[in-house]
Amino acid sequence: MKKLGYKKNGKHPAGRKLVFVGDVINRGNHSTETLAFIRDLVENDLALMVRGNHESDWSKRVLSTKKASKEAVKIAKWLHDLPYQLLLDDNRLMIVHAAAHTDLVGVMSNKAERWSVRGGRIRGKAWDWQNAYRGKPFVVAGHTPVAKPRFSKKGGGSVIIDTSASRRKAKDRFTGKKFAGYLTAFRWPEKEIVKQKTLAKDL
């Protein structure tokens, strides 16, 4: 956040807003603190976040058990209500956690949710949605580990920015290359990548 010009409270002097692509829980040693921090930013209109598969799975487990605490249920409901797609900047920019499907841009349906949160698979293998995408908005996604941000010019363009920040040893899903994870941000509309090494204490 400091590298991106944000203050500790999430405010930016130029009025920019943080957007998180999901899977902020079950990652690294500080999931609880991270979730609490991001939730506070979102509730104070200082950030946006789309729901990842980890948030979806955790919230479903909590909401389906009678043993969960009131606070856990409250958080689970908040996570469950997070959007799975965000269309920003007059629909020029789309944020999803896992994948975008040309026919499901801006669509609210079970199929659109499944694609946005979990991606698609063909014969058991993850489908390269970037090569198939022909939608108009530029798409930013996470979910799929990549050694470096993976750009595509197909359709309105896209980038995958999940560089496995919570892992010392990671593997690029497309190339098989092994790498040390780090945190990646994408700056819009400049289409710039900002990288930051992960602190050892957070892994």
CATH 3.40.640.10 fits 18-202, yes or no: no
Name the residue among 174, 175, 7, 106 with its Cα closest to residue 115. Answer: 106
Determine the residue type at 171.
K
User: In 3-state terms, what secondary structure has residue 133?
Assistant: coil
pTM score: 0.94
In the chain, beta strands by DSSP E: 18-20, 47-49, 85-88, 93-96, 121-122, 125-126, 138-141, 150-152, 158-160, 170-171, 178-179, 182-187, 192-197
- Mean pLDDT estimate for the chain: 93
Q: In sequence order, what are the beta bridge partners of 185?
A: 194
d(CA 41, CA 50): 13
Whether the per-residue pLDDT at 138 is higher than 90: the answer is: yes
- Rounded average pLDDT over 124-128: 72
pLDDT given at position 146? 96
d(CA 123, CA 131): 17
The tens digit of pLDDT for each residue in 58-107 reads 999 999 988 889 999 999 999 999 999 999 999 999 999 999 999 999 99
**pLDDT band per the 50, 70, 90 thresholds, residue 37:** very high
Residues whose CB is less than 8 angstroms from the CB of residue 28 and which lie 6 or more positions away in sequence, other chains included: 34, 165, 166, 198, 202, 203
pLDDT given at position 199? 85
Residues whose CB is less than 8 angstroms from the CB of residue 123 and which lie 6 or more positions away in sequence, other chains included: none
The tens digit of pLDDT for each residue in 26-36 reads 887 888 888 99
- Rounded average pLDDT over 180-201: 94
User: In 3-state terms, what secondary structure has residue 49?
Assistant: strand
pLDDT given at position 126? 65
